[in-house]
Amino acid sequence: MTPPTEMHRGPVLRCYLAASHLFPLVAKPILQRRLKRGKEHPTRWPEKLGQALAPRPEGPLVWLHAVGLGEVLSVRGLIDRLSKARPDLSFLVTSSTAASAEVFAKNAPARTLHQFLPLDAPGYRRRFLDHFTPDFCVWVEQDLWPGLVSDLAARGIPQCMVAARMNTKSHSAHQRASGLFRDLYGAMALITAQDEATAAHLRSFGADPQVSGSLKPAAPLLSYEPKALATITAHLAGRTVWAVAPAHAADMQIAQEAHDLLRKSDPSALLIIAPRFPNAAVTHPGPRRSKGEMPNAEDAVWHFDTFGELGLVYRLAHAVLIGGTFGDVEGHNPWEAAALRCAILHGPRTANFAADFGGLTAASGATLVRTADDIAAALTSDDLDAQVAHATQAIKTASAQTDALAAALLQLLKMPDAR
């Protein structure tokens, strides 16, 4: 597919672009209020105004945008594949959340720079694009900014959308501005979807997507501190260790109930609670890693209330209850734990990661649990080792889809339009 040379700008997009001139009237005050609440990076928030940008790497630059933490970490496997095939490429990854920047910094691939995406106002967009002059843009999963899509098209910079994810609720929301999304999707040289349901939703807006699966199974292993792993492993020797992560209140509650059952047959068992938001109020007793505390032999729970250490948690635990699967969050990424040979348990609420959990379940690489009794039984099951092996094979199978996606992007990069 050749990159579009012109972008259709219908009435909804034209209205949006006109309104975007007003964004600076409120952008800075809103960012400063968010800064006071700890929602923005303390020193790098001006990047969202197209200011204080990092130096542009030399040579061809591929820009990938992914809105939050999970999406940002997922692009690493794709970057690795592109980088190996084209050592001349450098990569710019943008996101919107402070947490994504913090964790990505610990896990960034070589020749990869992170910046915060500027807000979608003409001046901010212009400063960003004039500074970085990307040769190619990859929008990941679901976050499209109409002004930037329009500006990229006007500059003749090829762009695509990969691993798109759109459930029924999101599709209904998109339909309220169907003309806008027809224009945005029409500007893409390539669109791929995580699953057939998303592909069907995208087709309703005139897109012609391919199904390429999720990027998450192909991502490199999460980083960790080797000295910390060695010290903690020695300290916990002989204990059964499992985790609930990234955990929300409902996940913590059912995990604690299951752990109380487990301790009846295994009094030394230890539950690691790794909250999604480390500053959340701790309601269960136990030592806290944020205070430098280690569990003693009598401690049943250890609060891993630090940020960016899931790579360590998953290496310590033999099984994990994936958080967000017992409430409205509707799940978190299971592949990061599976890649570290941590057995996957999950509750029934997985709508935001339906394709991911579906792939693992189809391969017998995950266990659905609904009650505390289910969790306790799964943790003591003789099937966990086989489940881990099945999950490992599922990762290999799913990663092949990212190989194919990387090959398709490399073909687009060879086109004359990709400067």
- The enclosing domain of 172 has a CATH number of 3.40.50.11720
pLDDT above 70 coverage of the chain, percent: 97
Query: Quick one: the chain helix, strand, coil %, rounded to 5?
Result: 45, 15, 40
Assess whether pLDDT exceeds 70 at residue 42: yes
State which residues form the domain around 131.
11-213
Q: According to the model, what pLDDT value does residue 5 have?
A: 52
Do 358 and 255 lie in one domain? The reply is yes
> Is 219 within a domain?
no
- The answer to whether residue 51 sits within a structural domain is yes
CA distance 243 to 355: 23
Residues 302 and 345 in one domain: yes
Quote the CA–CA distance of 64 and 33 in Å, as a whole number: 28
The backbone torsions φ and ψ at residue 345, rounded to the nearest 5 degrees and listed phi first, read -115, 145
Contact assessment for residue 161 and residue 185, using Cβ atoms and an 8 Å cutoff: yes
How many whole angstroms separate alpha carbon 148 and alpha carbon 139?
A: 11
Q: Label residue 354 by pLDDT band (50, 70, 90).
A: confident
> Residue 385 sits in a domain of what CATH number?
3.40.50.2000
Q: Determine the pLDDT at residue 414.
A: 82
Residues 6+ apart with CB under 8 A from 277: none
CA distances, 342 to each of 94, 104, 246, 380, 386 (Å): 30, 22, 14, 14, 12
- What six digits make up the tokens of 113? 């720079």
Q: What three-state secondary structure class fits 418?
A: coil
The count of domains in the chain is 2
Q: Is 322 a domain residue?
A: yes
Domain co-membership, 277 together with 318: yes
3-class secondary-structure state, position 167: coil
pLDDT at 2 over 80: no
Residue 255: enclosing H or E segment and its boundaries? helix 249-265
d(Cα 416, Cα 277) in Å, to the nearest integer? 45
Distance CA 389, CA 404 (A): 24
- Answer whether residue 57 is part of any domain: yes
With 0-12 CB in 10 A as exposed, 13-18 as middle and 19+ as buried, what is 204? Answer: middle
Identify the helix (H) or strand (E) that includes residue 25. Answer: helix 24-36
* 137-141: average pLDDT: 97
Percentage of the chain exceeding pLDDT 90: 89
Residue 140 located in a structural domain: yes
Give the end of a domain, one of 183, 213, 243. Answer: 213
DSSP code for 355: H
Domain-located, residue 324? yes
pTM for this prediction: 0.90
- Domain-ending residue, one of 184, 213, 242: 213
- Three-class secondary structure of residue 82 per DSSP: helix
Query: Quick check: is 208 in a domain?
Result: yes
**Same domain (yes/no): 209, 296:** no
Q: How confident is the model at residue 1 (pLDDT cuts 50, 70, 90)?
A: very low
Same domain, 202 and 239: no
Q: From 352, 400, 401, select the one nearest 165 (Cα to Cα).
A: 352
> What's the pLDDT at 4?
54
The pLDDT assigned to 96 comes to 94
Q: With 90 as the cut, is the pLDDT of residue 389 above it? A: yes
The structure tokens listed for 348 are 């029934």
Q: Are residues 251 and 376 in the same domain?
A: yes
Same-domain status, 310 and 251:
yes
Name the region of 252 (left: φ>0; alpha: ψ -120 to 50; beta: rest).
Answer: alpha
Residues 299 and 363 in one domain: yes
Question: Residue range 54-69: average pLDDT?
Answer: 95
Residues 168 and 45 in one domain: yes
Token pair, residue 409, equals 């992007």
Instruction: Count CA atoms within 13 Å of residue 129 on its CB side.
Output: 22
Length of the chain counted residue by residue: 419
Does 416 score more than 70 pLDDT?
A: no
| Position 414 in a domain | no
Q: Residues 92, 98, 99, 103: is their CA dihedral positive or negative?
A: positive
6 band by pLDDT with thresholds 50, 70 and 90: confident
- Shared-domain flag, residues 280 and 379: yes
Which of 213, 243, 265 lies at the terminal end of a domain, its last residue?
213
With 0-12 CB in 10 A as exposed, 13-18 as middle and 19+ as buried, what is 187? Answer: buried
Does residue 201 register a pLDDT over 50?
A: yes
79 shares its domain with 26: yes
Residues 132 and 99 in one domain: yes
